[in-house]
Amino acid sequence: MHEFRYKGNELYCEGVKISRIAKRFDTPLYIYSRKTLIDHYRKIKKAFSAIRPLICFSVKANSNLAVLKVLANQSAGMDVVSGGELYRALKVGVAPQRIVYAGVGKREQEIALAIKAGILLFNAESFAELGLIERAAGRLRKKVDVSLRINPDVEIHTHRFITTGRMINKFGLDIRTAEEIFLRSRIFSHLNLVGVHIHIGSQITEGRPFVLAIKKALHLIKRLKSKGVQLKYFNIGGGLGIVYRNERPQTADEFAQAVLPLLKETKLKIILEPGRFIAGNSGILLTKVVYVKKTPKKNFAIVDAGMNDLIRPALYGAYHEILPVVRAKDKAERKVRYDVVGPICESGDFLAQGRDMPIVQAGDLLAVMSSGAYGFVMSSNYNSRPRVAEVLIDKNKVSLVRKRESYRDLIRAEVIPKGL
């Protein structure tokens, strides 16, 4: 499943001892395994090989240039949601014709940038947005391909902040409105409405909601066809869940088996947008215990990574396994219940609560597992903490892929007005 394993009592990433990486680059630190990234990309590619889809890595999950480059080298396309993500994708040499652009709030400059770059298509989410793309395309004298993101209104079991396919969510167009827009598409002289896009949420471990959503989209596609609207693309989004704890998510093969028959029927070019499935288990956040503090109620392991470095536990109550980088020799060792907390001045600043772990002491290294997706990308400078470094491992080779920020970096863009 991933390349973070114990050899003896030491945790390794691929061929490298993690304690050695810590010595060289200090903590906190994100560590990614190149092999795990590639393995997961290939798992999806293989599972869907019968229809040769365009697999667009969802850049929001992990936008480090080296990570993107690893995937671009495998000929992955990219799913972007901002001008900044588009800039990164182009920077690593992804062909514009392999880039799709989603998001409810695209700004005119961002749209213009994407049109100029010649991306494959926009996934548009509202009538108003279509108007803006039409204007920008007109100004640039271009005809632009657009898919409509529909909101299939299906229920999924995941955190309420990461469901996107219910009608109460801000995403997509309801199916009736989307149908009307397709039928009236001639009003847009600079747009080709060429596809349907769905993305129902993230960390989805069961196949059912995908199948339901795809079926709803297929009904629309069929109705459109019967009314003379022939599409080219069907984008089924991302959302495949991974193992954080004891989930039993569908595998890429199981997922493909469930949806392939439906997709084949369409004869459309299929697009996938996996993020977490590719990057999630490919990375860890390495942190060091600074203090251990026992109170009448709890044991706190105070570590040097905080909610500003990995916000998922604080924001979603997400579970990340926490492993000692050096295991005690005695495997039957007694466990102690800890809250693993960071240095940020907020009680919400925790990486784990009530976690039974082998005894830790100051100086111990801990690996916060499955942090490769929505980890570093969601980090901030809160409490004026420089953002941490990122390292990529390729077999025995260790490469720094983002420098640790300095205090100077923290204030680089700030200005004190003269005469203040």
Rounded CA separation 329/228 (Å): 70
Positions in the binding site for ligand LLP (CB under 6 A): 58, 60-61, 79, 102, 162, 164, 199, 202-203, 237-240, 273-277, 312, 316, 373-374
Task: Between 11 and 99, name the residue whose CB sits nearer to ligand LLP.
Answer: 99
For the chain, give the number of residues: 420
Rounded CA separation 285/199 (Å): 28
Residue 316 Cβ vs ligand LLP, minimum distance, rounded to whole Å:
6
- Catalytic entry in 332, 345, 415, 420: 345
Contact 172, 130 (CB under 8 A): no
- Torsion angle defined by CA atoms of residues 287, 288, 291 and 292, in that order, rounded to the nearest 10 degrees: 80
Rounded CA separation 78/72 (Å): 8
Residue 375 Cβ vs ligand LLP, minimum distance, rounded to whole Å:
8
Residue 232 Cβ vs ligand LLP, minimum distance, rounded to whole Å:
19
Task: Between 21 and 102, name the residue whose CB sits nearer to ligand LLP.
Answer: 102
For the record, the structure tokens of 88 come out as 């990164």
Residue 68 Cβ vs ligand LLP, minimum distance, rounded to whole Å:
14
Rounded CA separation 292/303 (Å): 9
In the chain, what's the furthest Cα-to-Cα distance?
Answer: 72
- Concerning whether 56 is annotated as a catalytic residue, the answer is no
Residue 80 Cβ vs ligand LLP, minimum distance, rounded to whole Å:
10
In the DSSP assignment, the letter for residue 381 is -
Task: Between 266 and 379, name the residue whose CB sits nearer to ligand LLP.
Answer: 379
Task: Between 12 and 350, name the residue whose CB sits nearer to ligand LLP.
Answer: 350
Give phi and psi for 316, each to the nearest 5. -115, 5
Please, which residues bridge with residue 286 across strands?
A: 29, 367
Residues that are catalytic: 345
